[in-house]
Amino acid sequence: MSEETQGQGWATAKTLAEALPYIQIYDRETVVIKYGGHAMGEEQVAKLFAADAVLLKMLGVHPVVVHGGGPQISAMLERAGVKSTFVDGLRVTDEATMEVAEMVLSGAINKEIANWITQAGAEADVRGVGLSGKDAKLITVEKVTRTKKDPNSDEERIVDLGFVGEPKKVDPKLIEALIFAEEDYIPVVAPIGVSAKGETYNINADTVAGALAGALGAKRMLLLTDVAGVLDKNGELIRQLSVAEARKAIEDGVATGGMIPKLETAIAAVEAGVEAVVILDGRRPHAMLVELFTEHGAGTLVCE
C-alpha cells in the first residue's frame, strides 16, 4: 500500500472522528430535505444526492425528501403544446396543466428519486418510498387566491390560479410509520395535494417541505437550491439569520427574486416548530453532509 493511499485512509478516519459530535446531535432526529430546481438537473448529481440520503439513514437520521419539478413540468407542457403563465412565481394550473403536472411529479420524478435511493441503499436494504400528498390524507389543501393591481384603474382584482393549492392540514401518520419502521425506508413526497372535495391540486414544493417539517417537528429542514445561500449586498454568504433578520433582509431588498419565497418558507417553518432551516447549494456534491456534520456548515441557517 502506497504512502499516498495510507494518507487518504487516515484523512478519512480523521473526518469521521471529527463528525462524531454532529452525528450524535442528529441521531434519531427528522430532517426534511427540499430537493428541486436545478439541483435535480444532472443524473450523476441526483445519484450522489440519493447516496447521501442513504448515508443519513445509516447514521441514524430520519431523512424525508420533498421534491419539486418545475423545469420538468415546463418541458413536458412545451412538448404537449400547452402554454404556461405565472403569477407571483406560481404556475396558473388549468385541468390540462394539472394532469401533466401530476404525471411528471407523482410519476416520473417521484419514482425515479425513490428508485435511485433504493439502488444506492441496496447493500443495506434502505428503500425509497414514493408518495404524494394524496396518499393517506397526507396533505389536504385549500385553493390559493392572489390579487393583482389593475394598471388602468389601480384596483386590486382577484387572479384565478386554477388548481394551485396550499396545505390546510398535514397528517404525518404515514410518514411517521415509514421513518420509525423496523425497516429502513426513506419517504419521497411529490408536492401534490387533494382538497376536501377530492380535487387534485399542485402545491409549491418549498411550501410542502415547510408544512411537512412543521408537522413532523423536524430538527432541520434543508432547502437545496442553486445558490450558496442568502448573499449580502457585497455578494458574501450570510451564515446565519434570525427570523427577525430574515424578515429585514426581505424588507431591505437584500433578498431578491426566488430567494424571497425561500426565506418566507424558512420563517414559516421555524415558527411552526422546526429548530432551524438551512438554504444551501444542492448542486455541490455532499452539501447535506457538509451542512449537518461539519463545524462550518454549507449555507445560510435561519433559526429563532
- Indicate whether 8 pLDDT > 60: yes
**For the residues 178-197, what does the mean pLDDT come to?**
97
The pTM (predicted TM-score) of the whole model is 0.91
| Between 72 and 34, the higher pLDDT residue | 34
The CA R_g of the chain, rounded to the nearest whole Å, is 20
Predicted local confidence at residue 227, as pLDDT: 87
Predicted local confidence at residue 151, as pLDDT: 65
pLDDT digits (tens, 9 = 90+) for 104-159: 999 989 999 999 999 999 999 999 999 999 999 999 999 988 777 666 666 777 88
pLDDT digits (tens, 9 = 90+) for 199-247: 999 999 999 999 999 999 999 999 998 888 999 988 899 999 999 999 9
Predicted local confidence at residue 4, as pLDDT: 63
| Range of 10-14, 95-99, 127-131, 250-254 with top mean pLDDT | 127-131
> What does the alpha-carbon distance between residue 224 and residue 145 come to, in Å, rounded to a whole number?
27
Lowest mean pLDDT among 27-31, 70-74, 208-212, 235-239: 70-74
Predicted local confidence at residue 7, as pLDDT: 76
- 104, 72 contact by CB (below 8 A): yes
Q: What is the mean pLDDT of the chain?
A: 90
- Indicate whether 40 pLDDT > 80: no
Q: How far is CA 21 from CA 11, 15, 25, 30, 128, in A?
A: 17, 12, 6, 17, 27
Predicted local confidence at residue 203, as pLDDT: 95
